[in-house]
Amino acid sequence: MTIRISGTGSALPKRAVTNQELSELVDTSDQSIRERTGIGERRISTGDTVASLAASACTQALEMAGKTAEDVDLILVATCSPELLLPCCACQVQNSIGAFRAAAFDLNAACAGFLFAMDTAYAYLQAGLYKNALVVGSEVLSKLVDWSDRSTCVLFGDGAGAVYLEAEPGEIVCENGRRAGIEAILQGADGAKGEVLSCRERPLGNPFLQEQQAFDPYVHMDGRAVYKFATRQVPDCIAAALSQAGLAVEDVDLFLLHQANERIIASAAKRLKAELDKFPMNLQRVGNMSSATIPVLLDELNREGRIQKGDRLVLSGFGAGLTYGATVLVWG
């Protein structure tokens, strides 16, 4: 059996917000944002929702795969910024695209969420429970950031990316001799570092409390602690995933890393002793879209024809939790 991605899609809000515009809101400048992160602008929702962006990305992925919504067995949405606590976003997507046969649920592993969702879908397909899955990362983080906090509001953007993952009988051997499919998966979490990047749900509230609790709804982050974690954990995790598959860094054609910060990506490349031009980036245009960064980048590269059959890709990310993961696959 081969489990491969046969369609990709993405959706971004229309409104681009430049660093210059942010410098009118908080004490920052285009230069300081670019120097710290590499980010030049990001898309911000003026009406799109996590569910509507996810549904658009899914429709595109289905179209590319040559499938219809009725073909879909499973919809898995990774998000940490849904509009609704109930029902989950995957059920909204199911209804919106008309995938009435599909099982649907959400998963939250913050910025590493898409990877964890894809790995979960892969395990279902591998076990023979389903034959295909739409896997989505979708976020509207703009509603979770404090727009008066320059250390976080400059980083994030809104958007969604999706892949159609399907299981096919037999092996697909590419022209370069590589077998298409997922070769290694590594996932991890360090819950003890949860405090360094967090956002509260509503607090305990009931008539039986002695005192009502205060509610701070915004994302809080110790940027340096996350940076330190990411620059070490991401390359180490990639190296471990490659070694699990008996592969070396040189065997990889492209590294698609979570698009949080140009400096984190450059540092990972250096630690891995890999050429930086194997690490495509779009964060300059779209910022950090949490779970959506990897599938949006994947879709952009796929549509630009920068990913060819037989290419070996490493997808790797990190996020609140702190969570991290790496998936090695051959495009087929």
Active site residues: 111, 258, 288
CB of 7 to ligand UT7, least distance (A): 26
Of 264-303, binders to ligand UT7 (CB under 6 A) are 288, 290
The reply on whether position 28 binds ligand UT7 by CB under 6 A is yes
> Per-residue contact track with ligand UT7, 94 to 113, x per CB under 6 A?
-----------------x--
Nearer to ligand UT7, 72 or 230 (CB): 230
The minimum distance between CB 295 and ligand UT7, in angstroms, equals 15
Half-sphere exposure (CA, 13 Å, Cβ side) for 78? 29
- From candidates 164, 227, 255, 279, binder to ligand UT7 by CB under 6 A: 227
DSSP code string of 211-252: SPPP---S-EE-HHHHHHHHHHHHHHHHHHHHHHTT--GGG-
Shortest CB 127 distance to ligand UT7, Å: 30
By CB under 6 A, is residue 223 in contact with ligand UT7? yes
Helix then strand then coil, in percent of the chain rounded to 5, is 40, 25, 35
Which residues are 103's β-sheet partners? 74
CA–CA dist 159, 282 (Å, integer): 12
Is the Cβ of residue 33 or residue 104 nearer to ligand UT7 in the bound state?
A: 33
Residue 226 interacting with ligand UT7 (CB under 6 A): yes
Tell the smallest beta-carbon distance from residue 319 to ligand UT7 (Å).
Answer: 5
Q: How far is the CB of 274 from ligand UT7 (least distance, A)?
A: 20
Is the distance from CB of 264 to CB of 111 less than 8 angstroms? no
- Cross-strand pairs, 321: none
Burial 67-103 (b: 16+ CB within 10 A, else e): bebebbbbbbbbbbbbeeeeebbbbbbbebbebeebb
Q: Which range, of 25-33, 172-180, 208-216, 242-250, touches ligand UT7 by CB under 6 A? A: 25-33
Closest to ligand UT7 by CB, 180 vs 197, is 197
The residues in 31-50 that bind ligand UT7, with binding defined as CB under 6 A, are: 32-33, 36-37
Residue partners of 44: CB distance under 8 A and separation at least 6: 13, 15, 16, 17, 142, 157, 158
* Shortest distance in whole angstroms from residue 311 CB to ligand UT7: 25
Maximum C-alpha span of the chain: 69
Q: Could you say whether residue 132 binds ligand UT7 (CB under 6 A)?
A: no
Q: State which of residues 107, 109, 134, 154 lies at the interface with ligand UT7 (CB under 6 A).
A: 154
Span 175-194, contacts to ligand UT7 by CB under 6 A: none
DSSP per-residue string spanning 151-171? HHHTTB-EEEEEEEEEEESS-
Residue 232 interacting with ligand UT7 (CB under 6 A): no
Phi, psi of 113 (to 5 degrees): -60, -45
* Minimal distance, residue 30 CB to ligand UT7, in Å: 10
Point out the residue whose Cβ comes nearest to ligand UT7: 223
Residue 148: is it exposed, middle or buried by C-beta count within 10 angstroms (0-12/13-18/19+)?
exposed
Q: Hey, which residues between 306 and 325 contact ligand UT7 (CB under 6 A)?
A: 319
The site for ligand UT7, by CB under 6 A, has a size of 19
- The residue among 158 and 166 lying less far from ligand UT7, judged by its C-beta, is 158
- Residue 150, Cβ neighbours under 10 Å: how many? 17
Q: Which of 6, 96, 151, 244 binds ligand UT7 (CB under 6 A)?
A: 151
φ/ψ (deg, to 5) at 172: -110, 110
- Number of Cβ within a 10 Å radius of residue 45: 21
Contacting positions for ligand UT7 (CB under 6 A): 28, 32-33, 36-37, 111, 150-151, 154, 221, 223-224, 226-227, 260-261, 288, 290, 319
